[in-house]
């Protein structure tokens, strides 16, 4: 009787330890998945920022040339640059007035969606592995 109680107690302790280990591993997996998604988004963002900086440089020189062109047309270089600056001020005003909630929301939803997809695919893979292992007879010790 005492042996049965000890073996049941040991099995309960082993089960508890197994559940704790499983939860720890799931938390680690989730942390790694989130870190992977953050690094992917950061890398993509850096690439986009570099592309935008190159585009901004090209647009700067184009705008500069257009300022000279308009200045030549009206025989006043300063007025040509003033005229060419008006669309930039209008665009800056529009961007300053609009809040970036849509952009922030889209980035957050994209990150959450990718994280959940990875967690679900990992969970599905674990389920199929568990089903495969249940089909095999276990070796007795």
The per-residue pLDDT for range 4-35, each reduced to its tens digit, is 777 777 888 888 888 898 999 888 888 888 88
Looking at the domain assignment, is residue 87 inside a domain?
Answer: yes
Q: Residue 105's domain spans which residues?
A: 27-134
Looking at the domain assignment, is residue 20 inside a domain?
Answer: no
Looking at the domain assignment, is residue 120 inside a domain?
Answer: yes
Looking at the domain assignment, is residue 54 inside a domain?
Answer: yes
- pLDDT score recorded for residue 32: 85
C-beta separation of 63 from 88 below 8 A: yes
* Per-chain mean pLDDT for the chain: 82
**Which of the pair, 63 or 39, is modelled with greater confidence?**
63
If one counts the domains in the chain, the total is: 1
The tokens describing 23, both together, are 């939860």
Looking at the domain assignment, is residue 1 inside a domain?
Answer: no
CA atoms within 13 A on the CB side of 137: 3
Looking at the domain assignment, is residue 15 inside a domain?
Answer: no
The tokens describing 73, both together, are 């047309």
Looking at the domain assignment, is residue 78 inside a domain?
Answer: yes
Looking at the domain assignment, is residue 66 inside a domain?
Answer: yes
């Amino acid at each position: 009787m005492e042996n049965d109680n000890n073996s049941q107690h040991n099995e309960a302790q082993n089960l508890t330890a197994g559940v704790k280990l499983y939860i720890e591993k799931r938390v680690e997996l989730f942390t790694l998945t989130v870190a992977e998604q953050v690094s992917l988004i950061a890398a993509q963002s850096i690439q986009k920022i570099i592309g935008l900086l190159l585009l901004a440089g090209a647009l700067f020189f184009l705008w500069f040339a257009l300022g000279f062109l308009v200045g030549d047309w009206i025989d006043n270089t300063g007025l040509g640059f003033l005229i060419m600056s008006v669309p930039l001020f209008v665009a800056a005003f529009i961007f300053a007035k609009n809040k970036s909630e849509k952009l922030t929301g889209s980035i957050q939803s994209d990150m959450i969606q990718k994280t959940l997809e990875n967690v679900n695919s990992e969970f599905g893979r674990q389920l199929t592995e568990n089903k495969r292992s249940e089909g095999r007879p276990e070796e007795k010790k």
